[in-house]
Structure 1
Amino acid sequence: MDQSYKEQHEQFVSDHSGTNVVEIACMVTTGPLLVLLRHVVQPWARMFHFKPSVRTKFVCDFLLLVLPIIAVTTVLSNYTDAVLTALLCVIFGILACNEMLNNISQWKPPHQRNKDVILLLDVKTPERMAFITNYRALINITSCVCILAVDFAVFPRRYCKVETYGTGLMDVGVGAYVMCNAIVSPATKARYLGHKTFLDKCSAVFKALVTTLPLLGLGMIRFVSLKILDYHEHVSEYGIHWNFFLTLAVVRVSILLLLVSIVILCICHPSSSWLISMCLALGYQYLLSVHGLREFILTGSDGQGSRVGMLNANREGIFSCIGYLAIYFAGVQVGQFLQKSRSTLRDWLRAVVVLMAVQTLFWLLLKFSESTTENVSRRMANLPYILWMVAFNLHVICAVLVIELVSIILTELNKPVYQGTDYKPNSQPSFCLLRAVNSNGLFYFLAANLLTGLINLTLATMHASPTVGFIILCGYQFVVCGFTAYIFNNTRKSLKFG
């Protein structure tokens, strides 16, 4: 890579101040609404006697779920409110048409629809709800869209990672991945509670180490590859040698996680993880604010930004793991709540109320912490960042859960319309791109990273016009999603982060 272009590119993705948390929350809300849009268009396949193949289903899912996400993060980034309004209008319009179908005698077999709200609340829900799958997949897709989009001028600079303080869309990435993994982790499912003896605990630690080796290997491969290719780097993001994969590995099972997550959860029930999260977050912020850790992370041991020595070189990546660990334990607590047995709409609606109340609490705590400590800093993963990540992820989880409950209600109220379609009551379609991405999350992310690197090495991305950038982003995601869907549909094997 030409040295002058490399320096220009590094400057292109650096020194940004971000946007506000409201805009980011609104932007990611488009994903759940797209899932609802896919649900309400299902009856139209039957109306036109359309029985799509797996390939056609993939193309439809791509057009309905992925393409709009690319658009709202790039060419439509200034019109998020209009996009949300348009989506709602389209959904309500299709629902009105579906209602008309219900009233056409030749389309409605003898069936008395149940519109009694009280009885509707007792409708049985699937044993395995799809909202966690949708949540994890949407986070993964949005993140992978951004990792290439950030290199193009069509991607708004306010969505880039901020330099020190502030909130950008890309600052969500690693925190959201940590939360996604924690929600479905073995700790959440209390698998470690059976380890009573010291040997059992050592065995759990060893197994955890083994599962972390691929992430450690990927972290080393990424570091070596960047140096060999002289690829552009944003050093203040993690440090010189550190990267995303090493952070995930450390948070999952390395020193802190081995000593705290595995061993402590062998003794304590996962329901206590909120207390561990709170202690880590408050203790870490205390070190940042009172004992000079903030100054060390921002300016190094010499106060001039020194990168001499392993600790100085990677201070952001190393110390931010404490904050990510707090997010991890918060995710374990959320996962514990979501794993509770619920069998009716009434049960899940109560869960939604609780999640919304907790989400509101964390948004308020975020504002309070910013006024009393410091602003959000993904670079340090400080207390406000931890609170933001918990509030943000609860927002997305609530959104996808509400959308799934709405889908179940719509299916129950409009059974005649859905009869004969691929979408059976209380189920996902037989092929679902979101399920494919969730089941092969690690493969999807790796493929996206490799293709991102290839595109950057062969094209001066930051000089591409908005139109060219958007077209390349669409093609890039079509290829990555296509390979992921192919592997899922033909092997049914999973390659995940957590």
Structure 2
Amino acid sequence: MSDPAKEYKQLKEDFVSNLTGGSIGEINLVTAIVPVSVLLWSVLQKRHSFFKPYTVNAFGLDYLINVGTVLLSFTLYSSQPLLLNALLIVPALAFYLTPPDSPTSRKKPDVPPKAKSKHGATATPDALGALPLKPFLTTYRGSMIVATCIAILAVDFRLFPRRFAKVETWGTSLMDLGVGSFVFSAGIVAARPVLKERAAGAPASPLAPRLVRSLRHSLSLLVLGVIRTLSIKGLDYAEHVSEYGVHWNFFFTLGLLPPFVAAFQSALAIVPSYAALAVVLAGLYEAALDKTELGAFVLTAPRTDLLSMNKEGIFSFFGYLAIFLAGQGAGMYMLPRNISPRPGTTKGAQRKTLLLTMAAWSAAWAALYFFATSYDYGLGLSVSRRLANLPYVLWVAAFNTAQILACCIIDTVFFPESYKAVDVSAEEEAHRGATSRLLRSFNRNGLALFLLANLLTGAVNMTVATLDAAPILATGILVGYTFVLCSVAIVLDELDISIKL
């Protein structure tokens, strides 16, 4: 009688001997372009107020810094990430050392309207809410959505290195990291209603109302999942069945996360931490993969029924749920205005505590990842996005907390006024001054723009032989594609439209 655990172990050994994708070190260098680009943007804004007011020239430079550089790092400079980072750091240093514009020569900033309360009165200092606008989170989420939108089309061209594309089973790649980061980011946002409930002093909602609210939010995503599946089958669009399965897709994963998280809130009475809950869930799922028939089933079982046809999407959901919970745990300490409960703590001390907390969590996730993957000092596991196993969960959490920490450090150094505001109007103005309007617009309508990016990607693939496209043509298409996305984002922001899906 065969032993499922031994069978799965042999499968891992066979697959791991042919690891695909890029190294984590290379991925870190490529993705370092985001905080480096933010650094350059921050220097230009702080020292020279270049993006005030937001003119056509400002939009062009905003696009080059925050979108063009990411596109270059994924394509033409994919083998030279250090050079590209240096090409941004040098002008950042030069502009920083250049004397700042004098007050009389600076461009006149837009005057924001006075903040109003719900009853129409001018906002006062005590109108500041418990969940402020935080520029570093806006920057992080906006840049993450930009990178995701670029990658989903760029991967169809030979200009995009194959080692950056999603791996088949074992290994790490840029796009594997992007999928998990999207879920982690969604988890951060999901912490807002929980924090609002706690700030209001209201007791936790019963399970039934929580599930109803979450299903209402999930419905549009599930509908999009159905539409995507029907469209792919109807148009005979190329797809990799081993990614999620025959019928499953990423929209189903996103849509099912909220109701499952709502159900998991009851578990906080036993495990009073979203991060700890994430680790427990990922650990139990990993044990099921290793010690039962589950791992062998997901990797080798024939697709004979609805479950086996969609085995990757169904079972990897547990890993994505753990990532979502890890993101929600990060949101619990990143989103509040005051991280320290001690009365009388200064705003500077609050920001220092936040930075130290973020650094500690980043180090903790990295240490757990090292333990899970080390053959000499840990479990000797390999990352698998296809399974969304324990090392994958820890890798995504470690990367994203470190990336957000980098954005927070830049924000703290260049725009301290963003956390010293005394009223709503000043806080909103500080937020506008400390964030790229382009990234702010992507953050505002991220899911809608991601959907548009998917539609444009499909349109390009149906009209162009992408794999045969020359580098010049591929670059031109990608520039045009990103310019359309950015233009739509800015127009929606200019019209004050927020599309909630």
Amino acid at match of 1:272: S
How far apart are residue 258 of structure 1 and its match?
Answer: 4.3
Instruction: Pick one of 341, 363, 366 that aligns with 2:366.
Output: 363
Choose from 389, 412, 415 the match for 1:382.
Answer: 389
1:400 matched to which residue of 2?
Answer: 407
1:106 positional shift: 8.3
The within-5 A match list for 1:289-300 is 289-300=290-301
1:338 and 2:334 matched: yes
**Matching of residues 10-159 of structure 1 within 5 Å:** 17-42=20-45, 52-98=53-99, 127-159=132-164
C-alpha spacing 1:426/1:339, structure 2 compared with 1 (3 Å): closer
Point out which structure has higher relative CO (alpha carbons under 8 A, 6+ apart): 1
Deviation of residue 38 (structure 1)? 1.5
Deviations 1:394-437 (A, max 9, x none): 1111111111112125999xxxxxxxxxx976752697111110
2:323 match: 327
Match of residue 475 from structure 1: 480
Residues 233-244 of structure 1 aligned to structure 2 (within 5 Å): 233-244=239-250
Match of 2:251 in 1: 245
Could you say which residue in structure 2 is the equivalent of 1:278?
279
Checking the alignment, whether the CA contact within 8 Å between 1:130 and 1:428 is kept in structure 2 is no
Which structure 2 residues correspond to residues 122-201 of structure 1 after superposition, within 5 A? Answer: 127-186=132-191, 189-190=194-195, 200-201=206-207
- The 1-side partners of 2:61 and 2:310 are apart by 44
Unpaired stretches in structure 1, ≥5 consecutive residues = 1-14, 109-125, 301-305, 413-422
Residue type of the alignment partner of 1:27: V
CA RMSD of aligned residues (A): 2.9
Residue-by-residue CA offset, 1:143-169 (whole Å, 9 max, x unaligned): 110000000010011100001000000
SS at 1:428 equivalent: helix
> What are the superposed Cα offsets for residues 442-470 of structure 1, whole Å, 9 maximum, x if unpaired?
11101100000000000000101112111
Is 2:452 aligned against 1:451? no
1:188 and 1:335 in contact (8 A); partners too: no
Report the CA distance between 1:489 and its aligned residue: 1.3
Contact 2:191-2:328 within 8 A present in 1 as well: no
227 and 275 in structure 1: CA distance in 2 versus 1, 3 angstrom threshold: same
Choose from 224, 232, 238 the match for 1:226.
232
Q: TM-score, normalised by structure 1?
A: 0.81
Deviation at 1:39, TM superposition (A): 2.2
The separation in 2 between residues aligned to 1:191 and 1:106, in whole angstroms, is 43
| 8 Å CA contact 1:16, 1:158 repeated in 2 | no
- What is the rounded CA distance, in whole Å, between the counterparts of 1:51 and 1:369 in structure 2? 47
Matched to 1:332, the amino acid is Q
Distance 1:197 1:479, change over 3 A: closer
Contact 2:21–2:173 (CA under 8 A) maintained in structure 1: yes
AA aligned opposite 1:485? I
- TM-score, L = length of structure 2: 0.81
8 Å contact 2:72–2:78 — kept in the other structure?
yes
User: In structure 1, how many angstroms separate the alpha carbons of the residues matched to 2:418 and 2:92?
Assistant: 14
Give aligned-pair identity as a percent: 35
Distance 2:357 2:88 in 1: 27
Listed one character per residue, the Cα deviations across residues 378-401 of structure 1 (whole Å, up to 9, x for unaligned) are 000000001101101111111111
Q: Distance in 2 between matches of 1:259 and 1:187?
A: 17
CA contact (8 A) 2:70 2:147 kept: yes
Contact 1:330 1:390 in 2 (8 A): yes
Q: Can you list the C-alpha shifts for 1:163-186, whole angstroms capped at 9, x where unaligned?
A: 100000000122111111111215
What SS does the corresponding residue of 1:491 show, helix, strand or coil?
Answer: coil
Shift in alpha-carbon separation, 1:53–1:396, aligned structure 2, 3 A: closer
Q: Tell me the amino acid that sits aligned with residue 470 of structure 1.
A: T
Contact kept, 8 Å, 1:182 with 1:188, in 2: the verdict is no
Secondary structure of 1:341's partner?
A: coil
1:260 counterpart (259, 264, 270): 264
- Give the count of matched residue pairs: 439
In structure 2, distance between residues paired with 1:242 and 1:426: 39
Distance 1:197 1:440, change over 3 A: closer
CA–CA distance in structure 1, aligned partners of residues 326 and 34 of structure 2: 23
Shift of 1:133: 1.0
Task: Supply the AA of the counterpart residue of 1:260.
Answer: F
